[in-house]
Chain A
Amino acid sequence: MATALRSPAIGSSLSRVDGRLKVTGQAVYAAEHQIPGVTHAALLQAEIAAGTVIAIDATAALRLSGVLAVISHQNAPRLAPVDDAELAVFQSPAVAYRGQLVAVVVADSLEIARHAAGLVAVEYDARPHDVLLRPDHPGIYRPDKVNPAYPTDTEQGDADAALAIADIVVDETYETPAVHNNPMEPHASLAVWSGGDLTVYESTQGAADTRDALAELFELDPGAVRIVSPHVGGGFGSKGKARPQIVVAALAARVVGRPVKLALTRREMFSLTGYRTPTLQRLRLGADSDGQLRAIVHDVLEQTSTISEFAEQTATATRMMYAAVNRRTTHRLLALDVPMPSWMRAPGECPGMYALESALDELAIACRIDPIELRIRNEPAVEPETGKQWSSRNLVACLRDGAARFGWADRDPTPGVRRDGNWLVGTGVASSTYPTYRSGSEASVHADPDGSFTVSVCGADIGTGARTVLTQIAADSLDAAPDRIDVELGDSDLPRGPVAGGSMGTGSWGAAVVRACEALVAKLADLGGVVPDAGIDASADTAAEVAALPKLARHAFGAQFAEVRVNTMTGEVRVPRLFGMFAVGRIINPKTARSQFIGGMTMGLSMALFEQSLLDREFGDYLNHDFAQYHVPTCADVLDIDAAWVDERDDRLNPMGTKGIGEISIVGTAAAVANAVHHATGVRVRRLPITPDRLIG
């Protein structure tokens, strides 16, 4: 599978092809489709964290002019049972977490719907709730697997024996809080029934999977359901599957016999759209005095909900990152009366690598070795747990080239000694990694006699630049200029493609686009190069190609470098410089790739310093459920962030030679910042985020 694409378009910094639509306000997001006769929905959420709804009085609401229906478990149509209990809305009076959906009001306007929602009286029978993740809880259990299908625990050699005789041992516990994805566009669904057919304009990363979920719930033929999502205002995992609001919209539209628009409020998103679980991670490293790792043990505790299980794969990066003969990783879960945790950008790698890369920094200090040299010394020749060959692994190049660009060479490792007025200054480093997944995908291409092409695949551009890079991939596959290519995404009627998740969009959809274009070029050659008046079509399905890929360890790597300043009076942390160096195969578009890298690093900076969802133990919900209290970086918090990449050629991935770049850049950032904070101050904060109270006091 040699990389044979000519590449005038691939590798060029083509400006985002949907940029003009987005800067002129013409890009249409889910709730913005203009549908005649549309009605509006307002939700009622459970006001207890555990128990039962015993009465709902909608009399006053229904008396309001313009109210069409109040739907709850008392009167909702029955849905077919599905695996994801979260989607069984209004099917039972049971309350499994505070904020779970209890009822919806549908009305002629949003103002009327909201007013009416305030008039619905709900009575509950509450039982005491259990919402705090703690290591001594008797209900902690071992899940059967971790997301998506990794083994729960792994063990090689005898880690305990190796730790007992190691020259140097680091044994620390790191803590990460619950954090919420918070894409700027709240989850929204606009459902339209036409006879027995259902169309939903939806904010989703995966239109095809969402179509299947709805078809199952409403017992429809999948061909009778269409999900349309041309533009999506971010997702970061939270729009990776159907969420309850789409079921409510579809169900309500069926009840009232008119289209229903339901956009979640920011506050509702904190209980209904998933979040990253809090984690407690014990890391034990045993090493020779020269830093050679002998044992790595990573034990993870995290939470799930009582109605559905999500087990984040937090320790999986520890299984492949560094060489050590003895290794053990474990995941334990606690099911609580809390909203359902789910995918958030780099689930697993992101929190896990914060812990591992922090522990590596502590080991470097204990061994008196430069933290970059320590990582290079533990570079594995093959994937440690599986023994598989790497398709490519250029972590060392990222560390070395990144260090040179960042200016690491003269770094004095002594913590807490660089002062600039009231500020202590320090630098830190951490590694990044993310698996290179690829899924089978279909795609089609249509050629018109005027020399234009339409490429179709049910992928999603959630801000990644997918529409732009697929344009470039098609251009080179067809030997055409990018402006002759129109890429259609975000519609479940298009050829099926996998979810925009796992950083596999470009690799999966792009490979199918290449194959469809190759088929078209061959057809065109048979026709003597002349496109008939009706145009010609070709399509491809890469399922067999993906199944036949050689078994290799495919991962992307990176190194991140942070400079921090910590105010000795206030504890404020500023990050004047953040630099990432990545080894991610071939870069299709340097401009949009850099945006993804610095965007992920910005979110990593946010994880290090700002983000935490605070659970209210009294009421059992996330207390700081708005942007005034849930802090993400503002423009003033982000100073110099930049990214670059090594020239990595890997022809055993896909026809383009790409690795995914959507998630790797949030992996390691928090550790790089935390390590720099320690270098600046001598204070090791092992609990994110690094807020002033945790530095001073």
Chain B
Amino acid sequence: MRGLRRLPLPLLRSPANVELQVRVNGEPRSLLVDTRITLLDLLREQLGLTGAKKGCDHGQCGACTVLVDGLRINSCLALAVAHQAADIVTVEGLADDDDLHPLQAAFIDRDALQCGYCTPGQLCSAAGMLAHEADRPSFVTSDLAGPPGPLDAAEIRERMSGNLCRCGAYVNIVAAIADVAR
């Protein structure tokens, strides 16, 4: 019995490099990038910003979450060239020099991390969620018409469910975010 034969893909034209202007953690960057590179690989491989993590490369785990124009996105699903002129903030840009972002301090205080690999994504996700999404209803919001209520544990859990943690720090992650959301 003959096994499967991998069909050769057509040879593509030479990869294209294009110029990309972005702001990363407040700093303007002018870059020449392969059009195939994801925003995550650009950060990690080209800019040496390895805070954003690669956990699945499929947008399923959230470890690569960064803020683009203030909103949280999975940077592994974003092509870098699609983000011309974007303002990008990674976990390296959350702290104000030596002063930790309140979420970073709360994560340490509540021990909301173990191996630390999902942590940058959790932090960026929580920061984007609190800054831009807290006033919008979620799947678990009971009163859709009324004014936005405080984010209780159920709301935080729902809104943070795009970020997987295999060490099982969820209980402490929710507590840490609740400390800051108050």
Whether A465 pairs with B114 at a CB distance below 8 angstroms is yes
Question: Which of A109, A633, A635 contacts B174 (CB under 8 A)?
Answer: A635
Check if B145 is an interface residue, CB within 8 A of chain A.
Answer: no
B56→A627 contact, CB < 8 A: yes
Is the pair B55, A185 in contact by a Cβ cutoff of 8 Å? yes
- B49: A residues at CB distance < 8 A: 25
Bound: A263/B55 CA distance, A = 10
Indicate if the CB atoms of B167 and A463 lie closer than 8 Å. yes
Instruction: Look across to chain B and name the residue whose beta carbon is closest to the beta carbon of A65.
Output: B14
Q: Judge whether B53 and A233 touch: CB under 8 Å.
A: yes
Q: Shortest CB–CB separation between residue B173 and chain A, in angstroms? A: 7
Contact count A vs B, C-beta below 8 Å: 219
Residues B36 and A184 in contact, CB atoms below 8 Å apart: no
**B159: shortest Cβ distance to chain A, in Å?**
8
A24 touches B95 (CB 8 A): yes
Docked complex Cα distance between A634 and B122 (Å): 12
B15, B63, B109, B166: the one contacting A236 at CB < 8 Å is B166
Instruction: Give which listed residue, A22, A26, A119, contacts B9 with CB less than 8 A.
Output: A119
B166 and A48: CB pair below 8 A? no
User: CA separation between A26 and B92, bound complex, in Å?
Assistant: 8
Q: Return the contact of A120 from the options B6, B12, B91 (Cβ within 8 A).
A: B6
Q: Which residues of B contact A34 (CB under 8 A)?
A: 48
Residue A382 CB within 8 A of the other chain = no
Residues of A547-601 contacting chain B, CB below 8 A: 591-592, 594-596, 598-601
Beta-carbon nearest neighbor of B174 in chain A = A635
Residue A663 at the chain B interface, CB threshold 8 Å:
no
Instruction: Report the minimum CB–CB distance from B157 to chain A (whole Å).
Output: 5
Bound CA span A636–B162, Å: 10
Number of contact residues on A: which range applies? 35 or more
Nearest A residue to B3, CB-CB: A124
What per-residue 1/0 map shows which CB atoms of A149-170 lie under 8 Å from chain B? Answer: 0000000000000000000000
Interface: A144 (CB within 8 A)? no
In the complex, B128 has a CB within 8 A of chain A: no
Q: How far is the CB of B133 from chain A (nearest CB, A)?
A: 15
Known contacts being A110-B41, A626-B58, is A599 close to B48, with CB within 8 Å?
no
Q: Which residue of B lies closest to A589 (CB)?
A: B111
Interface residues in B1-52 by Cβ distance below 8 A to A read 1-6, 8-9, 11-12, 14-15, 34, 36-37, 41, 44-45, 48-52
Partner of A635, one of B8, B90, B109, B170: B170
Q: How far is the CB of A369 from chain B (nearest CB, A)?
A: 33
Q: Is the CB of A233 within 8 A of B34?
A: no
| Known contacts A25-B92, A48-B3, A635-B160; is-contact A115 B57 (Cβ 8 Å) | no
Interfacial chain B residues near A638, Cβ < 8 Å = 157, 168, 170-171
Map CB proximity to A onto B89-123 as digits: 1 under 8 Å, 0 otherwise. 01110110000100010011101011111111001
In the bound assembly, the distance between CA atoms of A119 and B9 in angstroms comes to: 6
Docked-complex contact B114 and A595, CB < 8 angstroms: yes
Q: Which of chain B's residues have a CB closer than 8 A to the CB of A126?
A: 1-3
B72 at interface, CB cutoff 8 A: no
Q: What CA separation (Å) do A524 and B68 show in the bound complex? A: 55
Bound CA–CA A639/B95 (angstroms): 30
Closest A residue by C-beta to B49: A25
The verdict on A696 contacting chain B, using a C-beta distance below 8 Å, is no
Contact: A19 with B108, CB < 8 Å? yes
Residues of A117-142 whose CB lies within 8 A of B: 118-128
Are B15 and A20 in touch, CB under 8 angstroms? no
A266-B55, A627-B164 in contact; A595/B60 too (CB < 8 A)?
A: no
B165 at the interface (CB under 8 A from A): yes
Using known A-B contacts A111-B36, A233-B53, A463-B115, determine if residue A632 contacts B45 with beta carbons closer than 8 Å.
Answer: no
Q: Which B residues are CB-close (under 8 A) to A121?
A: 5-6, 8
CB nearest to A235 among chain B residues = B115
- Cβ of A234 under 8 Å from chain B: yes
Among A65, A182, A234, chain B packs the most CB atoms within 10 A around the CB of A234
CB atoms of B168 and A602 under 8 A apart: yes
Which residue, of A23, A110, A111, has the highest number of chain B Cβ atoms within 10 A? A23
Q: Which of B94, B117, B157, B173 contacts A183 (CB 8 A)?
A: B117
Q: Assuming A32-B50, A125-B3, A266-B56, is B117 touching A119 (CB within 8 A)? A: no
User: A217-276: which have CB < 8 Å to B?
Assistant: 231-234, 236, 263, 265-266
Contact between chains at B115 and A28 (CB < 8 Å)? no
CB distance from B162 to the nearest CB of A (A): 8
Which chain A residues (1-56) contact chain B, with CB distance < 8 Å? 15-16, 18-29, 31-32, 34, 47-48, 51
| B-facing residues in A165-218 (Cβ within 8 Å) | 182-186
Residues A123 and B60 in contact, CB atoms below 8 Å apart: no
The complex places the Cα of A247 from the Cα of B164 at a distance, in Å, of: 29
User: B38 CB to closest chain A CB, in angstroms?
Assistant: 9
B169, CB-defined interface residue at 8 Å: yes
* B157 and A184 contacting across the interface, CB-CB below 8 Å: no
Quick check: A601 and B107 within 8 Å, CB to CB? no
Q: Are B90 and A125 within 8 A (Cβ)?
A: no
Interfacial chain B residues near A125, Cβ < 8 Å: 1-3
Q: Give chain A residues whose Cβ lies under 8 Å from the Cβ of B90.
A: 25
A642–B14 Cα distance when bound, in Å, is 56
Q: Complex formed: what's the CA distance from A127 to B1 in Å?
A: 7
From residue A113, how far is it (CB to closest CB) to chain B in Å? 11
Contact partner of B54 (CB less than 8 A), chosen from A186, A603, A626, is A186
- Which partner residue on chain A sits nearest B154 by CB separation? A636
> Which listed residue (B15, B34, B117, B170) contacts A185, Cβ 8 A?
B117
What are 5 inter-chain pairs, A to B, with CB distance below 8 A?
A23-B91, A115-B36, A185-B55, A627-B60, A635-B158
Residues of chain A touching chain B, judged by Cβ–Cβ distance below 8 Å, are: 15-16, 18-29, 31-32, 34, 47-48, 51, 60, 63-65, 109-112, 115, 118-128, 182-186, 231-234, 236, 263, 265-266, 462-465, 591-592, 594-596, 598-603, 626-628, 632-642
Interface residues of B (CB under 8 A from A): 1-6, 8-9, 11-12, 14-15, 34, 36-37, 41, 44-45, 48-58, 60-61, 63, 90-92, 94-95, 100, 104, 107-109, 111, 113-120, 123, 156-158, 160-174
Question: 10 closest pairs, A vs B, by CB?
Answer: A25-B51, A124-B3, A602-B168, A233-B117, A463-B115, A22-B116, A599-B168, A463-B114, A32-B50, A627-B60
